[in-house]
Amino acid sequence: MHFLTKLVRLLKQQHEQSKEADGNNRSGEGKQGEKVSTQVLSPELKDNLDAVRARFGESSDLIIREFSFGKEKDGRKKAALVFLDGMVNLSTINDDIIEPLMRQSWLSRRGETSDLSGMDEIRDRLLTVGEVKTVYTYNKVIQACLSGDAVLMTEGSCKALDIGAKGWEKRAVSEPTSETAIRGPREGFTENLRTNTTMIRRKIKDPALKIRATVIGKRTHTQVNILYMDGITDPELVCEVERRLKRIDTDMVLASGYLEEYIEDSPYTAFPTIWCSEKPDAVAGKLLEGRVAIAVDGSPFVMTVPMLFVENFQNAEDYITRSYYATMMRILRLVAFFISLFAPAVYIALTTFHQELIPTTLLFTIAASAEGVPFPAVVEVGIMMVIFEILREAGIRMPRPVGQTISIVGALVMGEAAVQAGIVGAPVVIVVAITAVSSFAIPFITDAIALLRWFLVIMAATLGSFGITIGALIILMHLSSLRSFGSRYLAPVAPFQTADLKDTVVRAPLWAMRTRPKEIKPQDVKRENIPSPNDPSVGSGDKQGGNP
Amino acid sequence: MKKQAVKTGGRVLRALSVSFSQKCRKGARRAGVFLLCILLILCLCSCWSQRELNTLAIVLGTTLDVGDQPDTLTLTAQVVKASELGSGTTTKGNSSGGKAYVNVSYTDNSVLAAVRELTRMQNRRLYFAHNEVLIFSGELAKKDIAEGLDVFMRDYETRMNVNLLISKGKASEILDENVELEKIPAIHISRLMGNQKSNSETVVVTLRDFAIATLSGSSAPVAPMVELYESDGKKYAKLEGTAVFKKGKMIGELNKEQTRGILWVTNKAQSGEKTVDTPWGQVTLEVLHSSSDLKPVKGEDGTIRMKLTIDVEGAIQGNETTENMSIPENVAMLKGKMKNDVRSDVEGALVQARTLSADVFGFGEAIHREYPEEWEKMKGNWDQEFPKIGMDVQINAELSSEGGLVKPVTPGGAQ
């Protein structure tokens, strides 16, 4: 009997020990890393270059251009320019770095070379480049090269110059493919971080738009920028975003989706709690509502937090079309959400449990199509849903011309043939088709719905309408428990906030939306300088203008 | 010793669970528990009420007849053949252009026994939730309607809004009528009932209405009657008159004028057409709107009389004469004719109800509401009291429109 308690104690001890060991290892790694990064440059140019070569190994894109400069009488000084081929703008290298050093260095009046003044002299008088920093360690040198800068090192100096010469092949700004606009701006983000932040900066020409930079990923060293509006955005929200980003311990960040998984509030939920967009105007709108944007180098999607559930139904185009039409579209999207979530489940529940709820004549039609179909309704719906998901996946992954063929084969041939062959009934095809089309009306939560739809189908097939009710309640409970960076997900509906309902189901006219959403706690709630047309002062001015 | 063992066991479990919770993230554990709950729910229940559509025989109409053996009845159920009804490509192959229905019937002691027996002959379960009409044969109705009613009201699957009809002749034959516009006789009859608003000559009664009238004790339930007529050697069904019930048995009939009388009194007459004779020929009037109010009034001698006020609004629909019917004298005359017409309907119904001693108008209910004390005295021998209740009829007629024509099409006479 006692041996059991002993065993447990032993297990516990082991567990704690292993935890401690884990901790030690991690901190040890950190210290080692620091040691390397603090290794300072040596005054010997050759040592420095060897060290750089050693770090890069035999990478063929590393270019080390060795040359000498300075007046002959003072003794020409040896120097080397280190950069990675393809990452730099060659005209900057040639015309603004090498050219002034080699041709114009004789202009320098004082050739004396106490090493500090020499480097500063080059930076202050010779280099015609906008961005130059002085670096002291190997790690900084390596980093500078990797991020597309050129590094200038000279003989006898234990400093190096990190010269901004970034320039690589990048995709031009083009129309986003995931969100097309009819009347809105057509430009979309690219994979280049600076282009993206510039596009936002050009929308919001205000020094209050702050861009904080950080680097994430032990191997990828991906540039990540945090954008927010000073004076509008809750400072605590900015701190929280920075805190969460700092906590990330990963070796790679290849796109914004990689970060999303690390900083989400609820990692297990099917619903997105971080919003993202390809459109600078949409992101600018979110920033001005008091949200924080996170732009990741290499991703044409900029994320914004906090995200509310209603954002799934909003569209940048809503704010450009007339508010009546936008409201109608909002309602339609809501209807589409319910159809795409519930339609197959309701069909199964009605046809296998509650036939009395189907109008008599409709029942005949459904019953007629069920004649001779060998499977129960669940299996029929299941088959069609699987086929639809496969078609969707195939259509997305295949090259565009092939994708079209797939959709023709899928939609026309398979749908029609399956019905004629008597494998599935025609109503099932219609239900799954309506479901599919509806789910495309709300692109942002299509994935979440595709998962939950299966859950509801299973519930409906086992418990009928009770199952659907239970399933819907579970989903609702889950949704109301979600949070995104301190904001309650279902706001402004679930904590009911009357003032913010104007941008939910109804899209109020822009002049009526005079406050920012309160749920994201903006510092400055009022959107000022938006006078209402009903404002008496403005109204009288108009009249005067209209009737002279 | 045993206690010790239990204690230690508990400790082990707790320790294990603690270490488990330390290892796993809280969310994962919670999700696990949640999934476990779902699995348990799925094990505890089963799909016992699940039934696929192609295992059901959808019943659209049911009739009950007197069986050939004493104390038996014959149940006939009209089952839809979905494959004949369906549209589109699905059924192109199997639709043979035959009847879209099958009538199955069985004679047994009770309705339920017959339904159970039918399962020995049918591969599909009879499904009554979409039953639209329930027809009793007149013969059965005169014997006893209670047994059939009880089953159809007690069961969960059957609906209370099924149309109730009484057939003249065998009820099962009604479901064999020829149908031209619909494909199924039961649907034809059920839609027929929906179309009766425009003539005000048929009472439309659902099982629920019938049950309420039965339960009131004083009122006599009524139900529409349906009969077959022949045309070109084919049999068709039509509605004709009203059956009057008392104590679960049919005791008499009303013709269509008397039926209209009931509808006037019970405020159910919606519209209808009246042809009146004038010295110059016939004029057709249409009832556009009508409302009636039935109220018991106590006379000075303590006797209770019913006071009926009917407001009728009509319009001229057709003028066969050469007279201008829009001039005030003629309008007044037409109003008078219309009043008389309504009055004769009401009085005809009243006479018939008195002879049957059946309170088809709901006088008893009205007195109960207005004079509960007097009602307590009367209700004991209501059958004798009812024929003695007098009724004053006040009719207000209004002719509001003469249609698109003011003068007659063929001019002449008083202009």
| Shared domain check, A352 and A400 | yes
Number of domains in chain A: 3
| Shared domain check, A374 and A285 | no
Mean pLDDT of chain B: 84
| Shared domain check, A333 and A290 | no
| Shared domain check, A157 and A22 | yes
Give A244's contacts (C-beta < 8 A, 6+ positions apart).
A262, A263
Q: State which residue of chain A sits closest to B95, comparing Cα positions.
A: A368
Residue A30, pLDDT > 90, answer: no
| 3-class SS of residue B235 | strand
Mean pLDDT of A74-96: 87
Give pLDDT, residue B288.
87
Q: Can you give the pLDDT of all 415 residues of chain B as single tens digits?
A: 555 555 655 565 565 555 554 555 677 888 888 888 877 776 666 556 788 888 889 999 999 999 888 889 999 999 998 887 765 444 444 445 678 899 999 999 889 899 888 888 888 889 999 999 999 999 999 998 888 888 999 888 888 999 999 999 999 999 999 888 888 999 999 999 988 877 888 899 999 999 988 888 788 999 999 999 998 889 999 999 999 998 889 999 999 889 999 999 988 887 888 888 888 888 888 888 889 999 999 888 888 899 999 999 988 888 888 888 888 888 889 899 889 989 999 999 999 999 999 999 989 989 999 999 989 988 888 888 899 888 999 999 988 877 777 777 776 654 4
Tell whether A317 is covered by a domain. Answer: no
Token reading at B231: 């045309």
Give pLDDT, residue A6.
62
Residue A242, pLDDT > 90, answer: yes
Mean pLDDT of A149-176: 88
Tell whether A494 is covered by a domain. Answer: no
C-alpha angle A228-A234-A239 in degrees, rounded to nearest 5: 75
Tell whether A65 is covered by a domain. Answer: yes
Q: What is the distance between the alpha carbons of residues B119 and B122, in angstroms, rounded to a whole number?
A: 5
| Shared domain check, A108 and A43 | yes
| A302-305 sheet: strands from edge to edge | A209-216, A222-229, A292-296, A302-305, A275-277
Count the Cβ atoms, other than its own, within 10 Å of residue B189. 27
Model pLDDT for residues A184-224, shown as the tens digit of each residue: 899 999 999 999 999 999 999 999 999 999 999 998 989 99
| Shared domain check, A383 and A331 | yes
Residue A135, pLDDT > 80, answer: yes
Mean pLDDT of A227-250: 94
- The answer, for B43 touching chain A at a CB cutoff of 8 Å, is no
**From A4, A368, A462, residue closest to B8, measured CB to CB:** A4
Tell whether A537 is covered by a domain. Answer: no
Confidence of residue A347 (pLDDT cuts 50, 70, 90): very high
Q: How many CA atoms lie within 13 A of A267 on its CB side?
A: 10
**From A355, A371, A464, residue closest to B127, measured CB to CB:** A355
Mean pLDDT of chain A: 84
| Shared domain check, A339 and A280 | no
Distance of CA A212 to the CA centre of its chain: 16
Q: What is the DSSP letter of A497?
A: -
| Shared domain check, A299 and A328 | no
Give pLDDT, residue B24.
54
| 3-class SS of residue A112 | coil
Residue A36, pLDDT > 70, answer: no
Chain A residues inside the 8 Å CB shell of B80: 364, 367
Give pLDDT, residue A191.
93
**From B22, B45, B83, residue closest to A368, measured CB to CB:** B83
State whether A426 and B90 contact (CB < 8 Å). Answer: yes
Count the Cβ atoms, other than its own, within 10 Å of residue B2. 6
| Shared domain check, A234 and A143 | no
Chain A residues inside the 8 Å CB shell of B50: 352-353, 461, 464
Choice between B265 and A9, residue whose per-residue pLDDT is larger: B265
Tell whether A536 is covered by a domain. Answer: no
Q: Which segment of A102-111, A135-144, B312-321 scores lowest on mean pLDDT?
A: A102-111
Tell whether A314 is covered by a domain. Answer: no
Domain boundary among A120, A148, A163: A163
Pairs of residues, one from chain A and one from chain B, whose beta carbons lie less than 8 Å apart? 110
| Shared domain check, A110 and A74 | yes
| Shared domain check, A479 and A383 | yes
Model pLDDT for residues A457-476, shown as the tens digit of each residue: 999 998 889 999 999 999 99
Residues of A with CB under 8 A from a CB of B: 1, 4-5, 8, 11-12, 15, 266-268, 351-353, 355-356, 360, 363-373, 376-377, 419-420, 425-426, 461-464
Domain boundary among A307, A340, A372: A307
- The answer, for B51 touching chain A at a CB cutoff of 8 Å, is yes
State whether B91 and A371 contact (CB < 8 Å). Answer: yes
| Shared domain check, A89 and A55 | yes
Tell whether A443 is covered by a domain. Answer: yes
By residue range, what is the domain housing residue A282?
193-307
Tell whether A367 is covered by a domain. Answer: yes
Give pLDDT, residue B173.
92
CA distance B46 to chain A (A): 7
Choice between B108 and A533, residue whose per-residue pLDDT is larger: B108
Domain boundary among A307, A335, A361: A307
ipTM over 0.90: no
Which pTM value belongs to this model? Answer: 0.81
Model pLDDT for residues A256-302, shown as the tens digit of each residue: 989 999 999 998 899 999 999 999 999 999 999 999 999 999 999 99
pLDDT over 90 percentage in chain A: 44
Count the Cβ atoms, other than its own, within 10 Å of residue B93. 11
Confidence of residue A385 (pLDDT cuts 50, 70, 90): very high
State whether B15 and A356 contact (CB < 8 Å). Answer: no
